[in-house]
Structures are given as structure tokens and as C-alpha cells.
Chain A
Amino acid sequence: MTIAEQQAPAAGAPPSRSEAAGRDTSHPLVRFLRVWGTILVILLVAVAFSFASPYFLTVSNINNILFSMFTCALLSMGLTFVVAAGSFDLSIGTIVTTSSIVCALCIPVLGAPAAIIVALLVSMLIGLANGVLVTWFRISGIVGTIGVMFLLEGGNQYLTGGYQVAVGYDEHFFRWLGQGRYGFIAVKSVFLFVFFIIAFIIANRLRIGHYINAVGDNPLAAYYSGIPVYRWVISSFVLSALFCGIAGIFLASTSSSAQPTGGAGYLLEAFAAVFLGATILGKGKPHVLGTLLGVFFLYMVSNGMTQFGVDSSARNIFNGFVLLAAVGTNALLNREELHLRFI
């Protein structure tokens, strides 16, 4: 506070100066680390890898990373909306599977474009069910979406009989989505960029993303502002499921088939990415760009370590450590007075 600010104005004077409005009083280094810390770690690891292997920083390898992270990235971006709205979605992995199975089953009957649309509609319907369960039916996000996850797993088993569903080799358009490439660049990597832009606009430029953030931040304030809280919570689940549906279609396209448990492994990676992403740029809450960088980090580490033949156990230990360190230091840097929430 400057000396000028300390001198109180004459009583009754109109309000003139705000008192240290929203000013951060912590040490500049702490402030810098809060914003840039996670990005700094990502860059340091990338630099270390590129020194260790000349191949690491080539267009071809970057494309490899983007290609492999596609499914996880879409799931995570969708999940970002649900977590921003203040809930959890544990059914995302199985929605990917369901979408790919529905798509693969419909292609011979309806043709690829119609099959894609059906798969997306089914996914959104599942998201709608999730949203209605956690709002109107008052079930917690964790429990409600676990229930839906089990229902979908059973459905997936039933639809496939436990075997993969193959997509015909003559489906050129459909296979182009997941397998096409121009030079070093895969079509899928370009699509990843497109979907990121779409998610970013939804989150930052449209009312839907704005209201999802507001509802997640303080539902009571949102309610008193006349915002239909339930509508936006449901919307976040529909968005999440839609992104999973897209991921499922590309998964089926990439492997020319739908696996009965194809998406199950991505769930925990997605959560890790969202919470790692929340520390990026010091936002302290999930945001789409942070999530994308979080996924990129996880897959970059995996890619780099594979090149050096590092055992996958070491890779998991490293990922776990980075997640805990990033989220932990962030929590310590943004100290609340009393911490009594353990979910």
C-alpha cells in the first residue's frame, strides 16, 4: 500500500480508492511458480529428452505423440467440463467403448456417416442420463456415473458377445479418419487440433462454458443470479459424453474394429490430466488448455521413456510423482486457512 492510499479521505467523500483490490501479496517467486511451475517442468523434461535423443524433437515423433494421445485428450477435454461444473464422470471410458461398438455395428447397416451420427447421439443420450441422475435424481456424481459405467459395460459385453466387431476394409472414408496421413502428419493429429479449438471456444467464448464455470464455482450464487443451474450441469455431462463418443469413433477407425473393453484404460489417465492441467497457468481449476498440456505431458513422458527402453514401472512411478508434486505444491502455494474437504 502506498502512502497516498494510507491517507484516509475526508469522511463522507465519495468512494474513490479500492483497498488493495484483488492484489496478490505473496512473494514474486511464489507467484511466478504458481503460474509457470508446471509448464517449466514440462519444458525441462522435453529439453532433457531432446538432448538424450536426436529423434525426440522431430515432426514425425511429435506426430506420434499427438496420434497416441488422441483418445485420452478427447476424454480429458470432455471431463474438464464436468469437473469445472463441480462433479465427476467415471463413465467416460466405457462411453468410448459403447460409441465405438455402436458405430462399428451400424456401419454395415447404415453406412459410415449415419453410423457416426447414431454413435454420437447414443453417447449424448448417455451423458444426458448421467446429468439427470446427478441433478434431478440427487445422486452424487461419483456414484451415479459408476452405476452408468456398470450398465454400459454389461451392455457392451452383450452387444459384442465378448468379441471384437470388425469394420470392413472397403470403408475408406471411415478408415481415413483414424489411419489417413499426409507425409509425417496424421489426419487424426489434425483433428485433435480442431477438436481442441472447438472445446476451447465452448469453454471460453460461449455462454455454456461460462455458466458451467459459474455453477461449479458457487452454485448458490448462480442460482440467485437466475441461472438454471441444473441445465448447465446436465450440459457438462452431455459435452463430456459427446467428446467420448467422438473418441470412440476414431478408436474404431484407427484399429478398424471395436473392442468390447476398448476405452476402459483411459479413465484414470484422463483424471490425472485434468488435475495436472488445473495447475497449469496457476488457474487452480480445470481448463481446456491446461488439460491438453497435461495429456501431452503424460504421453510425451511415455514416448520418451519408451525410446530409451525405460521399464513401464518406472514410467508410472514418474507420472505418479509428477502428478502429486504438481497438485501438491499448487495446493500449498494457494493455502486456504482451514482444509476440511477430503473428496
Chain B
Amino acid sequence: MDARPIIEIRDLRKDFSGVHVLKGIDMSFDRGEIHGLLGENGAGKSTLIKILTCVYTASSGEIRIEGAPFHGHSPKAANDAGVGAVYQDAELAWNMTVAENLLLGSERRWIDRRAMEREARDILSRIGLDIDPAARAGALTAAQMQMLTLATLFHRKFKVIILDEPTARLSGRESELLFALIRRFKAEGLTIVYISHRLNEVKLLCDRATILRDGRVVATLARGEIDEAAVTRLMVNRSASDLEITNPGFARPEVALEVKALGTAKLSPTSFRVHRGEILGITGPIGGGMEQIEKALSGLIAYHGEIFAEGRPVRIDSPSDALDIGVALIPEDRRKQALFPNLTMAENVSLPILDRLSRFGMVSTADIMASGRRVIERLQVYPAAPGTKMRYFSGGNQQKAVIGKWLSRDQKIYIFSEPTSGVDVGAIRQIYEIMLEMARDGAAIILMSTSFNELLSLSERIMVVHSGRVAVERPRAGFDRDSLLAATLASEVA
């Protein structure tokens, strides 16, 4: 076998409008290895992956695939070079069968369903997957969809397959099936890049693991060297460990929200309470259950258990129920889930209060603009142009608009999900200050985040949710970066 690395990366740099995200990455992936990629949020993992799959273009540096320089400009170019990624949301043709999906793009001239199913069955059994080739792709389980996507890349002779948090949506047993499949691919000579926050998976699976911190490679560990203490030490960014902002503690005695034995299909019964003025930080690996809390409280999924808002028992069966009892969700994907890009900033922020602005069923443009200006003043939105379409604002200012939208309705409980993802560095501090100010004014805030800096800066209490249940809950003072990271990485599965 060729001993040269399949991918070599030299001095790869990337900046987004002056902010350096990758500061010179040097690393390589060998043929037939499973290579773990570890790092805190914002360390540069996803940027690196997006450059490898040609979603982004590098600012400078060199990528060589099998020794030849590689300059792709579209995901298709990466595919043609044999590099592909499997994300948590698989892309399949949902109404077509497993066989049709697997062979998509390599059909013979005459379509013979039975022959296709036979061929698909051969491929699937060769890689050890027992999925019915005649089943409809849309009817598969999340694990099967992921494995089918993997099989598809295998069939198309991909050389490097990147897996981003592949077990986030899988049960323990499904993960075992996935690991077996990954090992088989390795035996076939494929290279697997494995990104995960679950250290025990990386320990179990990977031949080597590279740790990124703050846009640089800090170390590449061999299998035997991967252990919690070493990884924690390497991952934590000491230079940024002096927090610029801390929460002095605004919690009041009144309980704003109490949750008793809240459970969903993927979350064991969980109880917690949030006081007025308190910021409760919740963290954990993606898919570990924290997003279940967010979805249940904002009325997006079915749950069992009891919820009390200011002492009254309530049911939250839809987003409008959540709104009525005073819960506001500020979602991570704000462009898709919270904003109307083609409406003006003022129209966006006044939408939840149109009923208050209207007189005899009519809403005057002047009132809408006035409420837009109020949000702009209060949250220092830039540019101060309430009549500008939302899509022309930067990520940070869009986030302020989402917050402003709920502030103008005086919601009691705010759920922030990754409030600073996609927010320009300069605006992050402003968002933090706004959140602390909201807490001081008596709002109860639940902060869902995977950024430790953020959690330690803002929270009064922190809850780590892992494997569908609360693993640790402590006051902020009981955590430092190392113990928080350790609590998130540790997992009792397997």
C-alpha cells in the first residue's frame, strides 16, 4: 500500500473579514486510518472540514490529495476528488428505495428494479449492512439513513469520508453498528475523519487524534496517548481563560419556571428550576439531550412531565402555547427559524406585538417604525435603520433583532440556543451584556451552549446533559474550564 498520506495540509489559513479562524494548520491524514478531530467550539474544526469539502475556500495554504495540489471550488469538485462528508442530516431521495439511492448516478441504460436490488444487496452485504434494498429511504431509522449515506459514498469509491458528530442522533446500539461499519471501511483502505465531542468514542475508534485549539493544531496523539486528562489539557485555551465578563448574580427568590420529571423519547425525566433574574447554563454533546429540553419548552416536540410557570401548572403543546406563558425561544438557526429576511427590521421586531400596536384592526407604519427604533436604541443595533430589510444586517445585529422581538413583548423566560454562533467577534460581547442586563431586569434565562467561555461568563448555575440525562448540576463557582470540559467529555456508555 502507498505509504504517502492521502491528504496533506500545509499552513492552511482562513479569515472571515479580518477575523482569523484558521491560523496555519499543518496536518495529514493517512490511508486507511481513522483520524479523530477534537476541539472546543470555535477551535476551527468545522471551518477546516468545510475547506476540505470545498464549501469554503482557504485564504492561503496548500492542500494535497494523493500528492497532487487540490483546488476545488464546489462540493462537487471535492466529491470528484474522492472527499465526502456525512452530516447529521443525511441527504437522500426520500421516496426512492434503498437500492435506488445507493446506485443513484451509476444506473445501467435499462432500469431493472430487481437487478438493482440484487446489486444493492451485494454491496450492502459486502460492507456488512443489513438493510432491505427495497425499503423506502424515508422510512429508515436515523441510524440506517446515516449508514446508507456511508454505503453510498463507499460505492462511489470515495477515499476520504468525514463524519461530523455521527452518533449525535443514534442510540448506544446503533452506534455500535456504525462503529463496526467504520472499521470495515478502514479495512477496505478508506480514510475516515471522525469529529466528535465524545472522548470515549474517539478512544475506542481512532488510530490518531488531532486536537485543534484557537485555529491551530496543538497536538496529534496516537491511540495510546488519548486520555481525558491529556485531551482536556490540550483543548482548553489558556490564553482566553481570563473571562472578560462574569455574572455577578441577579437571581431573585421567585421561581419563574419549574420543570418536574420532564421527559421525551430521547430524554430521561429531568427536573430543574430557573429563578427570575437567573441565567441557567445547559451544555453537553450535540444529541446528548440538551436540545430536547429546548424543543420541549418551546412546544416543538411532545413531552411528559409537569411544567410550572410562576407556580401555575401549564402545558406547552405548540410554539403559540409557549408564547402565551411567556417563553421566548432564540434559536441557533435564526435566519431560518426566527427572522423574515425580506421584511424590514422594524416589521420583524414588531411582529409579536402587532396586536398591541393595532387600533381598530389597523396598524400604522409609523408605529411599527417607532417600535423598531426603540429596539435599535435599547440594543444598539447597527445600522440604525428600521426600514432596512433584515437580510442586510450582520449576524450579530440579526441576533439583536431576534432578542428585541421578544423583549418588546416582555416575555418572562428566554431560551437562548448558541446565542453567539455565526455572530461576529465584536458583537459577542454586546450580546453578553444584553443578556446580563435582561437578567438584571428580572428575566429568567436558559442558555444552551457548547462554548465553555460563554457558559462560564454568563451562567449562575450550569447543568451538563449527557446520554439523555442530567449528568452534573452545580453552581457556576463549582466549575472551571477543566472540570466543565471533563464533565462534557466523560460518558459512561460502552
A-side residues, CB < 8 A to B, are 8-9, 11-24, 204-207, 209-210, 213-214, 217-218, 220-227, 284-285
Which residues in B have their C-beta under 8 angstroms from that of A209? Answer: 111
The reply to whether B180 and A13 contact each other, CB–CB distance below 8 Å, is yes
* Contact of B176 with A225 in the complex, beta carbons under 8 Å: no
Q: Are B132 and A15 in contact (CB under 8 A)?
A: no
Selected from B94, B139, B152, B180, the residue in CB contact (under 8 A) with A15 is B180
Please name all residues of chain A whose beta carbon is closer than 8 Å to the beta carbon of B95 when the two chains form the complex. Answer: 213, 217, 284-285
**Proximity bits, B127-168, A CB within 8 Å = 1, else 0:** 011111011100111011001000010001000000000000
Q: How many Å from the CB of B268 to the closest CB on chain A?
A: 18
Asked whether B111 lies within 8 Å of A21 as measured between CB atoms, the reply is no
Q: How far is the CA of A225 from the CA of B79 in the complex (A)?
A: 9
> Does B75 belong to the interface (CB within 8 Å)?
yes
* Residues in A neighbouring B494, C-beta threshold 8 A: 11
Contact pick for A19, options B79, B129, B174, CB 8 Å: B174
A220 to B90, CA, bound (A): 11
Q: Are A8 and B173 in contact (CB under 8 A)?
A: yes
Cross-chain contact A21 with B131 (CB below 8 angstroms): yes
6 A/B residue pairs, CB under 8 Å, sorted by A: A21-B131, A21-B141, A21-B144, A22-B135, A217-B96, A225-B156
CB closest residue in chain A, given B141: A19
**Which residues in chain B, 90-117, are within 8 Å of chain A measured between CB atoms?**
91-96, 98, 100-101, 104-105, 107, 109-112
A22-B139, A207-B107 as given contacts; A218 in contact with B94, CB under 8 Å: yes
Residue of A whose beta carbon sits closest to that of B92: A221
Assuming the contacts A21-B132, A22-B136, A225-B105, asked whether A214 and B76 have C-beta atoms less than 8 A apart, the reply is no
For residue B177, CB closer than 8 A to chain A, the reply is yes
Does B181 lie at the interface of the complex (its beta carbon under 8 Å from any beta carbon of A)? yes
Roughly how many angstroms separate A210 CA and B179 CA in the complex, as a whole number? 33
Number of A-B contacts (CB under 8 A): 101
Determine whether the beta carbon of B107 is less than 8 Å from that of A210: yes
Complex interface: chain B residues within 8 A of A214 (CB): 93, 96, 100, 104
Given contacts A18-B132, A19-B174, contact A222 B144 (CB under 8 A): no
Tell me the nearest residue of chain A to B97, going by C-beta. Answer: A22
Question: A13–B96 Cα gap in the complex (Å)?
Answer: 30
- A202 → chain B, closest Cβ, in Å? 10
Is A21's CB under 8 angstroms from B140's CB? yes
Partner of A224 from the list B75, B98, B179, B181 (CB cut-off 8 Å) is B75
Shortest beta-carbon distance from A123 to chain B in Å:
26
B144 close to A18 (CB less than 8 A): yes
| A213–B111 CA distance with the chains assembled, in angstroms | 13
B354 to chain A, nearest CB (A): 20
Contact A221 B129 (CB under 8 A): no
4 shortest A-B CB distances, which residue pairs? A22-B135, A22-B139, A15-B177, A225-B105
- A206:B111 contact, CB within 8 angstroms: yes
Since A11-B494, A221-B104, A226-B105 are in contact, a sample of 19 more A-B pairs with Cβ atoms closer than 8 Å, ordered by chain A residue number, is: A11-B176, A12-B179, A15-B147, A16-B130, A18-B129, A18-B130, A18-B131, A21-B139, A21-B141, A22-B98, A22-B135, A206-B111, A209-B111, A213-B96, A214-B96, A214-B104, A218-B91, A221-B93, A225-B156
